A and B are shown apart, each in its own frame.
Chain A
Protein backbone atom coordinates (compact mmCIF):
# COMPACT_ATOMS: atom_id res chain seq x y z
CA UNK A 1 0.00 0.00 0.00
CA UNK A 2 1.58 3.25 -1.06
CA UNK A 3 -0.21 5.64 1.23
CA UNK A 4 1.84 8.66 2.05
CA UNK A 5 0.71 10.81 4.94
CA UNK A 6 0.27 14.37 3.78
CA UNK A 7 -0.37 15.71 7.21
CA UNK A 8 1.43 14.43 10.22
CA UNK A 9 -0.41 12.05 12.54
CA UNK A 10 -1.27 13.24 16.04
CA UNK A 11 -1.17 11.34 19.28
CA UNK A 12 -4.28 12.76 20.86
CA UNK A 13 -6.96 15.22 19.75
CA UNK A 14 -9.33 15.74 16.89
CA UNK A 15 -9.00 15.46 13.16
CA UNK A 16 -11.58 17.18 11.01
CA UNK A 17 -11.37 15.50 7.66
CA UNK A 18 -13.18 15.87 4.31
CA UNK A 19 -13.72 19.60 4.73
CA UNK A 20 -14.76 21.10 1.36
CA UNK A 21 -11.67 22.79 -0.10
CA UNK A 22 -11.63 26.46 0.83
CA UNK A 23 -13.73 26.07 3.97
CA UNK A 24 -10.83 25.10 6.22
CA UNK A 25 -9.66 28.65 6.68
CA UNK A 26 -13.17 29.75 7.63
CA UNK A 27 -13.38 27.04 10.24
CA UNK A 28 -10.06 28.05 11.78
CA UNK A 29 -11.32 31.57 11.94
CA UNK A 30 -14.86 30.85 13.11
CA UNK A 31 -13.83 28.48 15.90
CA UNK A 32 -10.97 30.81 16.85
CA UNK A 33 -8.67 27.83 16.80
CA UNK A 34 -5.59 29.97 16.24
CA UNK A 35 -6.29 31.92 19.42
CA UNK A 36 -6.20 28.79 21.57
CA UNK A 37 -3.10 27.09 22.90
CA UNK A 38 -3.71 23.93 20.97
CA UNK A 39 -1.19 23.02 18.29
CA UNK A 40 -2.80 22.79 14.92
CA UNK A 41 -1.79 21.14 11.69
CA UNK A 42 -3.69 22.02 8.57
CA UNK A 43 -3.77 20.86 5.00
CA UNK A 44 -5.48 22.87 2.34
CA UNK A 45 -6.47 21.68 -1.11
CA UNK A 46 -5.31 18.12 -0.61
CA UNK A 47 -6.33 15.56 -3.20
CA UNK A 48 -9.39 13.61 -2.16
CA UNK A 49 -10.85 10.46 -3.68
CA UNK A 50 -14.52 11.54 -3.38
CA UNK A 51 -14.26 15.31 -3.31
CA UNK A 52 -11.49 16.15 -5.75
CA UNK A 53 -9.91 18.44 -3.19
CA UNK A 54 -10.38 18.78 0.52
CA UNK A 55 -9.09 20.59 3.55
CA UNK A 56 -8.10 18.89 6.77
CA UNK A 57 -7.50 20.24 10.27
CA UNK A 58 -5.78 18.42 13.10
CA UNK A 59 -5.97 19.81 16.58
CA UNK A 60 -3.87 18.33 19.35
CA UNK A 61 -5.30 17.71 22.81
CA UNK A 62 -8.65 19.26 22.13
CA UNK A 63 -12.21 18.03 21.81
CA UNK A 64 -15.07 19.99 20.26
CA UNK A 65 -18.19 21.16 22.03
CA UNK A 66 -21.62 20.54 20.53
CA UNK A 67 -21.88 24.25 19.67
CA UNK A 68 -18.60 24.09 17.78
CA UNK A 69 -19.62 20.91 16.01
CA UNK A 70 -22.82 22.64 14.91
CA UNK A 71 -20.88 25.53 13.45
CA UNK A 72 -18.65 23.06 11.68
CA UNK A 73 -21.66 21.38 10.18
CA UNK A 74 -22.73 24.67 8.70
CA UNK A 75 -19.44 25.20 6.83
CA UNK A 76 -18.50 21.65 6.17
CA UNK A 77 -21.57 19.43 6.09
CA UNK A 78 -19.53 16.69 4.44
CA UNK A 79 -16.77 16.71 7.05
CA UNK A 80 -16.04 13.89 9.41
CA UNK A 81 -14.69 14.31 12.91
CA UNK A 82 -12.18 11.75 14.13
CA UNK A 83 -11.36 11.59 17.80
CA UNK A 84 -7.81 10.39 18.20
CA UNK A 85 -6.25 8.69 21.20
CA UNK A 86 -2.78 7.21 21.08
CA UNK A 87 -2.62 7.65 17.30
CA UNK A 88 -5.81 5.65 16.83
CA UNK A 89 -9.24 6.76 15.77
CA UNK A 90 -11.39 5.92 18.80
CA UNK A 91 -14.51 7.71 17.64
CA UNK A 92 -15.64 8.94 14.27
CA UNK A 93 -18.74 10.84 13.36
CA UNK A 94 -20.20 12.58 10.37
CA UNK A 95 -21.46 16.10 10.51
CA UNK A 96 -25.18 16.67 10.56
CA UNK A 97 -26.81 19.98 9.89
CA UNK A 98 -28.37 21.14 13.17
CA UNK A 99 -32.01 22.25 13.23
CA UNK A 100 -31.11 25.46 14.97
CA UNK A 101 -28.13 27.50 16.10
CA UNK A 102 -28.20 29.53 19.27
CA UNK A 103 -25.83 32.33 20.15
CA UNK A 104 -23.34 31.38 17.45
CA UNK A 105 -23.75 34.30 15.05
CA UNK A 106 -25.20 37.77 15.25
CA UNK A 107 -28.13 38.64 13.00
CA UNK A 108 -27.16 40.37 9.73
CA UNK A 109 -30.28 42.55 9.96
CA UNK A 110 -28.96 45.70 11.62
CA UNK A 111 -32.48 46.64 12.75
CA UNK A 112 -33.02 43.29 14.47
CA UNK A 113 -33.85 43.67 18.17
CA UNK A 114 -31.19 41.09 19.12
CA UNK A 115 -28.50 43.75 18.68
CA UNK A 116 -29.82 45.76 21.62
CA UNK A 117 -31.20 43.25 24.06
CA UNK A 118 -29.92 40.63 26.50
CA UNK A 119 -30.77 37.56 24.39
CA UNK A 120 -28.89 34.97 22.37
CA UNK A 121 -29.55 34.97 18.65
CA UNK A 122 -31.50 31.96 17.48
CA UNK A 123 -31.58 30.77 13.88
CA UNK A 124 -33.52 27.87 12.45
CA UNK A 125 -31.81 26.16 9.54
CA UNK A 126 -33.16 24.72 6.35
CA UNK A 127 -31.69 23.66 3.05
CA UNK A 128 -32.84 25.41 -0.06
CA UNK A 129 -31.52 24.45 -3.48
CA UNK A 130 -28.23 23.24 -2.06
CA UNK A 131 -27.69 26.30 0.08
CA UNK A 132 -28.30 26.50 3.81
CA UNK A 133 -30.65 29.27 4.88
CA UNK A 134 -30.76 30.60 8.40
CA UNK A 135 -33.93 32.23 9.60
CA UNK A 136 -33.79 34.55 12.59
CA UNK A 137 -36.29 33.60 15.27
CA UNK A 138 -36.80 37.28 16.12
CA UNK A 139 -36.85 39.40 12.94
CA UNK A 140 -37.98 36.39 10.82
CA UNK A 141 -35.58 37.31 8.01
CA UNK A 142 -33.79 34.53 6.14
CA UNK A 143 -30.14 34.67 5.15
CA UNK A 144 -27.70 32.44 3.33
CA UNK A 145 -25.09 30.91 5.61
CA UNK A 146 -22.28 32.96 4.11
CA UNK A 147 -24.02 36.23 4.91
CA UNK A 148 -24.63 35.13 8.49
CA UNK A 149 -21.16 33.76 9.07
CA UNK A 150 -18.96 36.30 7.35
CA UNK A 151 -20.17 39.29 9.29
Chain B
Protein backbone atom coordinates (compact mmCIF):
# COMPACT_ATOMS: atom_id res chain seq x y z
CA UNK B 1 0.00 0.00 0.00
CA UNK B 2 1.22 3.49 -0.81
CA UNK B 3 2.20 5.32 2.38
CA UNK B 4 0.23 8.54 2.28
CA UNK B 5 0.92 9.18 5.95
CA UNK B 6 4.64 9.72 5.42
CA UNK B 7 5.62 13.11 6.91
CA UNK B 8 1.98 13.87 7.69
CA UNK B 9 0.66 15.45 10.88
CA UNK B 10 -1.75 13.25 12.82
CA UNK B 11 -4.16 15.73 14.35
CA UNK B 12 -7.75 14.64 13.87
CA UNK B 13 -9.49 11.44 12.86
CA UNK B 14 -11.52 13.61 10.47
CA UNK B 15 -8.35 14.00 8.36
CA UNK B 16 -8.26 10.23 7.67
CA UNK B 17 -10.04 8.58 4.79
CA UNK B 18 -10.79 4.88 4.62
CA UNK B 19 -7.48 4.09 2.90
CA UNK B 20 -5.48 5.90 5.57
CA UNK B 21 -7.30 4.04 8.33
CA UNK B 22 -6.75 0.68 6.67
CA UNK B 23 -3.07 1.43 6.17
CA UNK B 24 -2.59 2.12 9.88
CA UNK B 25 -4.58 -0.95 10.94
CA UNK B 26 -2.75 -3.23 8.51
CA UNK B 27 0.62 -1.89 9.67
CA UNK B 28 -0.38 -2.31 13.32
CA UNK B 29 -1.34 -5.93 12.65
CA UNK B 30 2.02 -6.59 10.97
CA UNK B 31 3.93 -5.02 13.85
CA UNK B 32 1.96 -7.05 16.36
CA UNK B 33 2.88 -10.27 14.55
CA UNK B 34 6.50 -9.47 13.83
CA UNK B 35 8.29 -6.80 15.86
CA UNK B 36 10.53 -4.35 13.94
CA UNK B 37 13.00 -2.85 16.43
CA UNK B 38 14.76 -0.98 13.61
CA UNK B 39 12.02 1.26 12.22
CA UNK B 40 12.85 4.33 14.31
CA UNK B 41 16.56 3.68 14.64
CA UNK B 42 18.47 6.96 14.85
CA UNK B 43 15.26 8.96 15.29
CA UNK B 44 14.60 11.24 18.24
CA UNK B 45 10.96 11.65 19.23
CA UNK B 46 9.67 14.45 21.44
CA UNK B 47 7.03 13.31 23.92
CA UNK B 48 5.62 16.53 25.35
CA UNK B 49 2.76 16.17 27.80
CA UNK B 50 1.57 19.66 28.71
CA UNK B 51 -0.95 17.89 30.93
CA UNK B 52 -0.40 14.58 32.67
CA UNK B 53 -1.86 11.44 31.11
CA UNK B 54 0.12 8.49 32.31
CA UNK B 55 -1.44 5.73 30.23
CA UNK B 56 -1.32 7.55 26.92
CA UNK B 57 2.24 8.70 27.57
CA UNK B 58 3.50 5.26 28.58
CA UNK B 59 1.80 3.74 25.57
CA UNK B 60 3.48 6.22 23.19
CA UNK B 61 6.84 5.90 24.89
CA UNK B 62 6.68 2.11 24.76
CA UNK B 63 5.84 2.34 21.06
CA UNK B 64 8.89 4.52 20.38
CA UNK B 65 11.21 2.23 22.34
CA UNK B 66 9.91 -0.93 20.68
CA UNK B 67 10.79 0.59 17.32
CA UNK B 68 14.30 1.53 18.42
CA UNK B 69 13.75 5.29 18.71
CA UNK B 70 15.01 7.68 21.39
CA UNK B 71 12.78 9.93 23.47
CA UNK B 72 13.07 13.43 24.88
CA UNK B 73 10.36 15.43 26.56
CA UNK B 74 8.37 15.94 29.70
CA UNK B 75 5.43 14.27 31.38
CA UNK B 76 3.71 17.20 33.04
CA UNK B 77 3.54 20.70 31.59
CA UNK B 78 3.54 22.13 35.11
CA UNK B 79 7.28 22.76 35.16
CA UNK B 80 7.92 23.83 31.58
CA UNK B 81 8.41 27.22 30.09
CA UNK B 82 4.68 27.47 29.39
CA UNK B 83 4.37 28.49 33.00
CA UNK B 84 6.83 31.30 32.39
CA UNK B 85 4.59 32.68 29.68
CA UNK B 86 6.20 31.17 26.59
CA UNK B 87 3.68 30.50 23.85
CA UNK B 88 3.02 26.98 22.69
CA UNK B 89 4.01 28.16 19.23
CA UNK B 90 7.52 29.03 20.44
CA UNK B 91 7.91 25.81 22.45
CA UNK B 92 6.93 23.73 19.43
CA UNK B 93 9.18 25.70 17.12
CA UNK B 94 12.20 25.04 19.31
CA UNK B 95 11.56 21.46 20.41
CA UNK B 96 10.70 20.34 16.89
CA UNK B 97 14.05 21.65 15.69
CA UNK B 98 15.73 19.02 17.92
CA UNK B 99 13.61 16.07 16.86
CA UNK B 100 12.14 13.93 14.08
CA UNK B 101 8.55 13.84 15.35
CA UNK B 102 6.56 15.67 18.00
CA UNK B 103 4.07 13.76 20.14
CA UNK B 104 2.01 16.05 22.32
CA UNK B 105 -0.89 16.22 24.71
CA UNK B 106 -2.31 19.55 25.78
CA UNK B 107 -5.34 20.66 27.81
CA UNK B 108 -6.62 23.15 25.21
CA UNK B 109 -8.69 22.29 22.15
CA UNK B 110 -6.96 22.99 18.88
CA UNK B 111 -3.47 22.96 20.37
CA UNK B 112 -2.30 20.09 18.16
CA UNK B 113 -3.48 21.75 14.93
CA UNK B 114 -1.79 24.95 16.01
CA UNK B 115 1.41 23.09 16.88
CA UNK B 116 1.47 21.51 13.42
CA UNK B 117 1.67 25.01 11.94
CA UNK B 118 4.78 25.85 13.94
CA UNK B 119 6.53 22.48 13.90
CA UNK B 120 9.23 21.58 11.39
CA UNK B 121 8.50 17.86 11.94
CA UNK B 122 5.26 15.82 11.99
CA UNK B 123 3.03 16.41 15.02
CA UNK B 124 1.08 13.51 16.53
CA UNK B 125 -1.87 14.51 18.69
CA UNK B 126 -2.05 12.58 21.95
CA UNK B 127 -5.21 14.42 22.98
CA UNK B 128 -6.10 18.13 22.85
CA UNK B 129 -8.60 19.06 25.54
CA UNK B 130 -12.04 17.68 24.78
CA UNK B 131 -11.37 17.75 21.04
CA UNK B 132 -9.46 14.88 19.43
CA UNK B 133 -7.59 11.80 20.49
CA UNK B 134 -6.92 10.10 17.16
CA UNK B 135 -4.63 7.36 18.44
CA UNK B 136 -7.40 6.19 20.81
CA UNK B 137 -9.73 5.87 17.84
CA UNK B 138 -7.11 3.97 15.86
CA UNK B 139 -6.55 1.50 18.67
CA UNK B 140 -10.32 1.09 19.04
CA UNK B 141 -10.68 0.38 15.33
CA UNK B 142 -7.72 -1.98 15.40
CA UNK B 143 -9.24 -3.88 18.33
CA UNK B 144 -12.63 -4.12 16.64
CA UNK B 145 -11.07 -5.42 13.44
CA UNK B 146 -8.97 -7.88 15.41
CA UNK B 147 -11.82 -9.37 17.44
CA UNK B 148 -14.34 -9.48 14.58
CA UNK B 149 -11.96 -10.24 11.70
CA UNK B 150 -13.53 -7.38 9.76
CA UNK B 151 -14.69 -3.78 10.03
CA UNK B 152 -17.40 -3.60 7.41
CA UNK B 153 -21.07 -3.73 8.31
CA UNK B 154 -20.73 -4.22 12.06
CA UNK B 155 -23.43 -3.42 14.62
CA UNK B 156 -22.10 -1.42 17.50
CA UNK B 157 -23.71 -0.24 20.72
CA UNK B 158 -22.30 2.75 22.59
CA UNK B 159 -23.21 2.92 26.27
CA UNK B 160 -22.83 5.59 28.93
CA UNK B 161 -21.73 9.18 28.54
CA UNK B 162 -22.21 9.77 24.84
CA UNK B 163 -22.43 13.53 25.20
CA UNK B 164 -18.96 14.33 26.50
CA UNK B 165 -17.18 11.17 25.39
CA UNK B 166 -14.86 12.29 22.62
CA UNK B 167 -13.66 8.71 22.08
CA UNK B 168 -17.24 7.75 21.22
CA UNK B 169 -17.66 10.66 18.81
CA UNK B 170 -14.44 9.98 16.90
CA UNK B 171 -15.00 6.24 16.78
CA UNK B 172 -18.54 6.66 15.44
CA UNK B 173 -17.24 9.07 12.79
CA UNK B 174 -14.43 6.71 11.78
CA UNK B 175 -16.77 3.71 11.60
CA UNK B 176 -18.92 5.58 9.09
CA UNK B 177 -16.24 4.70 6.52
CA UNK B 178 -17.15 1.06 7.07
CA UNK B 179 -20.95 1.16 6.94
CA UNK B 180 -21.63 0.53 10.61
CA UNK B 181 -25.03 0.51 12.35
CA UNK B 182 -25.23 2.07 15.80
CA UNK B 183 -27.34 1.73 18.94
CA UNK B 184 -26.98 4.50 21.50
CA UNK B 185 -27.71 3.69 25.14
CA UNK B 186 -27.40 6.73 27.38
CA UNK B 187 -29.21 8.74 30.05
CA UNK B 188 -31.22 11.57 28.44
CA UNK B 189 -28.84 14.20 29.77
CA UNK B 190 -25.86 12.45 28.21
CA UNK B 191 -27.19 11.46 24.81
CA UNK B 192 -25.28 11.70 21.53
CA UNK B 193 -24.90 15.34 20.45
CA UNK B 194 -26.96 16.61 17.52
CA UNK B 195 -24.00 17.50 15.35
CA UNK B 196 -22.85 13.88 15.34
CA UNK B 197 -26.37 12.64 14.54
CA UNK B 198 -26.55 15.17 11.70
CA UNK B 199 -23.30 13.80 10.31
CA UNK B 200 -24.62 10.25 10.51
CA UNK B 201 -27.80 11.33 8.73
CA UNK B 202 -25.82 13.01 5.99
CA UNK B 203 -23.81 9.84 5.46
CA UNK B 204 -26.89 7.63 5.51
CA UNK B 205 -25.74 5.68 8.58
CA UNK B 206 -28.46 3.82 10.50
CA UNK B 207 -28.76 4.36 14.25
CA UNK B 208 -31.22 3.56 17.03
CA UNK B 209 -31.71 4.53 20.65
CA UNK B 210 -32.29 2.05 23.43
CA UNK B 211 -32.23 2.11 27.20
CA UNK B 212 -31.42 -1.51 27.82
CA UNK B 213 -28.06 -3.23 27.43
CA UNK B 214 -29.76 -6.56 27.94
CA UNK B 215 -32.12 -6.07 25.01
CA UNK B 216 -29.38 -4.74 22.79
CA UNK B 217 -26.67 -7.33 23.51
CA UNK B 218 -28.26 -10.09 21.34
CA UNK B 219 -28.31 -7.75 18.33
CA UNK B 220 -24.81 -6.29 18.25
CA UNK B 221 -21.21 -7.32 17.59
CA UNK B 222 -19.56 -4.75 19.86
CA UNK B 223 -20.61 -3.01 23.06
CA UNK B 224 -18.47 0.05 23.64
CA UNK B 225 -18.81 1.09 27.29
CA UNK B 226 -17.91 4.50 28.71
CA UNK B 227 -18.08 5.86 32.19
CA UNK B 228 -21.01 7.93 33.45
CA UNK B 229 -19.54 10.38 35.90
CA UNK B 230 -21.33 10.19 39.24
CA UNK B 231 -20.73 13.91 39.74
CA UNK B 232 -23.16 14.77 36.97
CA UNK B 233 -26.15 13.40 38.89
CA UNK B 234 -27.62 13.42 42.37
CA UNK B 235 -27.52 10.17 44.31
CA UNK B 236 -31.01 8.79 43.60
CA UNK B 237 -30.68 9.66 39.96
CA UNK B 238 -27.30 8.00 39.80
CA UNK B 239 -28.63 4.79 41.34
CA UNK B 240 -31.31 4.67 38.68
CA UNK B 241 -28.74 5.28 35.97
CA UNK B 242 -26.39 2.70 37.42
CA UNK B 243 -29.06 0.05 37.17
CA UNK B 244 -29.44 0.65 33.46
CA UNK B 245 -26.03 1.65 32.23
CA UNK B 246 -23.79 -0.68 34.19
CA UNK B 247 -22.78 -3.87 32.48
CA UNK B 248 -22.91 -7.11 34.45
CA UNK B 249 -22.93 -10.80 33.53
CA UNK B 250 -26.75 -10.96 33.62
CA UNK B 251 -27.12 -8.35 30.94
CA UNK B 252 -25.10 -10.60 28.61
CA UNK B 253 -27.14 -13.79 28.94
CA UNK B 254 -28.55 -13.63 25.39
CA UNK B 255 -25.50 -12.05 23.77
CA UNK B 256 -24.24 -13.18 20.37
CA UNK B 257 -21.21 -15.50 20.47
CA UNK B 258 -19.00 -13.02 18.67
CA UNK B 259 -19.93 -10.10 20.95
CA UNK B 260 -16.95 -8.26 22.41
CA UNK B 261 -16.96 -5.50 25.01
CA UNK B 262 -14.64 -2.54 24.69
CA UNK B 263 -13.90 0.35 27.04
CA UNK B 264 -11.31 3.13 26.71
CA UNK B 265 -10.27 2.54 30.35
CA UNK B 266 -9.78 3.29 33.15
CA UNK B 267 -13.14 1.93 34.31
CA UNK B 268 -14.65 2.66 37.66
CA UNK B 269 -17.75 0.54 38.21
CA UNK B 270 -19.53 0.58 34.85
CA UNK B 271 -18.33 -2.93 34.00
CA UNK B 272 -18.70 -5.45 36.84
CA UNK B 273 -15.43 -7.24 37.56
CA UNK B 274 -17.11 -10.62 36.95
CA UNK B 275 -17.47 -9.69 33.26
CA UNK B 276 -13.66 -9.77 32.96
CA UNK B 277 -13.74 -13.57 33.03
CA UNK B 278 -16.31 -13.92 30.25
CA UNK B 279 -15.25 -14.46 26.63
CA UNK B 280 -16.87 -11.11 25.82
CA UNK B 281 -14.35 -8.96 27.67
CA UNK B 282 -11.83 -7.41 25.31
CA UNK B 283 -10.85 -4.16 27.03
CA UNK B 284 -7.48 -5.27 28.32
CA UNK B 285 -6.40 -6.52 24.88
CA UNK B 286 -7.71 -3.19 23.59
CA UNK B 287 -5.41 -1.25 25.94
CA UNK B 288 -2.46 -3.40 24.89
CA UNK B 289 -3.31 -2.70 21.26
CA UNK B 290 -2.70 0.98 21.90
CA UNK B 291 1.01 0.34 21.67
CA UNK B 292 0.69 -1.36 18.26
CA UNK B 293 -1.56 1.35 16.87
CA UNK B 294 0.91 4.02 18.00
CA UNK B 295 3.86 2.04 16.66
CA UNK B 296 2.13 1.85 13.30
CA UNK B 297 1.51 5.59 13.20
CA UNK B 298 5.06 6.51 14.18
CA UNK B 299 6.49 4.00 11.71
CA UNK B 300 4.35 5.32 8.86
CA UNK B 301 4.89 9.00 9.59
CA UNK B 302 8.66 8.57 9.77
CA UNK B 303 9.34 5.99 7.03
CA UNK B 304 8.38 6.27 3.41
CA UNK B 305 8.35 2.48 3.16
CA UNK B 306 7.46 0.30 6.13
**Could you list which residues of chain A lie within 8 angstroms of chain B, going by C-beta atoms?**
107, 109, 111-114, 116-119, 128, 136-142
Contacts and interface: CB of A to CB of B under 8 A. Distances in A.
Contacts of A111: 107-109, 129-130
B109 to A, nearest CB: 4
A119 B89 contact: yes
Contacts of A139: 109-110, 129, 131
Given A137-B113, A138-B109, A138-B113, A117 B89 contact: yes
Contact of B117 (A119, A140, A142): A119
B295 interface: no
A118 B91 CA distance: 13
A9 B128 CA distance: 54
B88 interface: yes
B12 interface: yes
B109 A112 contact: yes
A128 B198 CA distance: 10
Contact of A113 (B14, B108, B198): B108
B87 interface: yes
Given A116-B87, A116-B88, A119-B89, A140 B114 contact: no
B132 interface: yes
A141 B108 contact: no
Contacts of B12: 140
A111 B130 CA distance: 9
Interface in B115-129: 117, 128-129
Most buried by A among B106, B109, B195, B198: B109
If over half of B's interface residues share one DSSP class (helix, strand or loop), that class is named, otherwise mixed; here it is: mixed
A98 to B, nearest CB: 20
A113 B109 contact: yes
Nearest to B195: A142
B56 interface: no
Contacts of B109: 109, 111-113, 138-141
B195 A116 contact: no
Contacts of A137: 110, 113
Interface of B: 12, 14, 87-89, 106-111, 113-114, 117, 128-132, 195, 198
Most buried by B among A119, A128, A139: A139
Contacts of B117: 119
Given A111-B129, A140-B12, A118 B110 contact: no
A136 B108 CA distance: 13
A117 B116 CA distance: 13
B14 A117 contact: no
Given A111-B129, A128-B198, A138 B110 contact: yes
Contacts of B107: 111
A142 B195 CA distance: 8
A140 B128 CA distance: 11
Nearest to B90: A118
Contact of B108 (A112, A118, A142): A112
Given A139-B109, A140-B14, A140-B109, A114 B114 contact: yes
A118 B89 contact: yes
Contacts of B108: 111-113, 116
Nearest to B107: A111
11 contacts: A111-B108, A111-B129, A113-B88, A113-B106, A113-B114, A116-B88, A119-B117, A128-B198, A138-B109, A138-B110, A140-B110
A114 B108 CA distance: 9
Most buried by B among A116, A117, A137: A117
A111 to B, nearest CB: 5
B76 to A, nearest CB: 19
Contact of B88 (A107, A117, A141): A117
Given A107-B110, A111-B109, A111-B129, 19 more contacts: A111-B107, A111-B108, A112-B110, A113-B111, A113-B114, A116-B88, A117-B88, A118-B87, A118-B89, A119-B89, A136-B110, A137-B110, A137-B113, A138-B109, A139-B110, A139-B129, A140-B132, A141-B109, A141-B131
Most buried by A among B110, B114, B131, B195: B110
Contacts of B132: 140
Most buried by B among A112, A128, A136: A112
